[in-house]
A and B are shown apart, each in its own frame.
Chain A
Amino acid sequence: NAGVMQNPRHLVRRRGQEARLRCSPMKGHSHVYWYRQLPEEGLKFMVYLQKENIIDESGMPKERFSAEFPKEGPSILRIQQVVRGDSAAYFCASSPDLFTTEAFFGQGTRLTVV
């Protein structure tokens, strides 16, 4: 059973470009969480999704950031018109249901904006 898979592992974008980060949850998991880790800081919750639904996006910046988890395929975190301050490690976690209070993390995507 493969773990949570994130790709790419490293992503470099120029200011103003779009960044797309992908997360495939563990098999059988329908709940996905995205976290961001800024340099020298802890992980900060961004968004919680179930299949085709955003459950909680209280940690998402109001502009330029969006997330989806379609019925088929991976969850996507999309950052439009990236700025230097978006440089961070983005982690995805998944869990099988709402009642399992343990999430399994992927290896993260390190985004660098140049």
Chain B
Amino acid sequence: AQSVSQHNHHVILSEAASLELGCNYSYGGTVNLFWYVQYPGQHLQLLLKYFSGDPLVKGIKGFEAEFIKSKFSFNLRKPSVQWSDTAEYFCAVNADNAGNMLTFGGGTRLMVKP
């Protein structure tokens, strides 16, 4: 069975700092990779996804993620965070043998100080 680990549970940054959130998965087959964001009191929203092709994926709100197959990683990055990026971020994997089911990481709570 696949698993997903997010290294940082809590991250605190000042505005304009750069962000990188780690995500590693364990599964030897083909995967689809996702980052979701959950703003306080709201539903999960898709930030970006990787299915195939260019391993550097650009998403909404200036976020990007890079799929490094050899490292089983899909880290999320943003060059300059804003206070409005304060949220919880979830990495998720859909394995090729799992239909549409997603396996989520434990989440990273990001707080951006104004």
Contacts and interface: CB of A to CB of B under 8 A. Distances in A.
Interface stretch (B12-20, B55-63, B102-110): B102-110
Nearest to A107: B43
B100 A31 contact: yes
Contacts of A42: 4, 6, 90, 104-107
A62 to B, nearest CB: 17
A12 interface: no
Interface stretch (A67-75, A76-84, A96-104): A96-104
Contact of B90 (A3, A43, A103, A108): A43
Contacts of B34: 102
Interface of A: 3-4, 31, 33, 35, 40-45, 48, 55-56, 91, 93, 95, 98, 100-108
B44 interface: yes
A4 B43 contact: yes
Q: Which 10 A-B pairs have the closest CB atoms?
A: A42-B104, A105-B44, A107-B43, A42-B106, A43-B104, A105-B43, A45-B101, A101-B32, A42-B105, A42-B107
Contact of A48 (B42, B100, B107): B100
21 contacts: A3-B43, A4-B43, A33-B100, A40-B106, A42-B6, A42-B104, A42-B105, A42-B107, A43-B44, A44-B104, A45-B102, A48-B99, A48-B101, A98-B100, A100-B100, A101-B94, A102-B34, A102-B46, A102-B49, A105-B36, A107-B42
A65 B32 CA distance: 29
B100 A95 contact: yes
B89 to A, nearest CB: 11
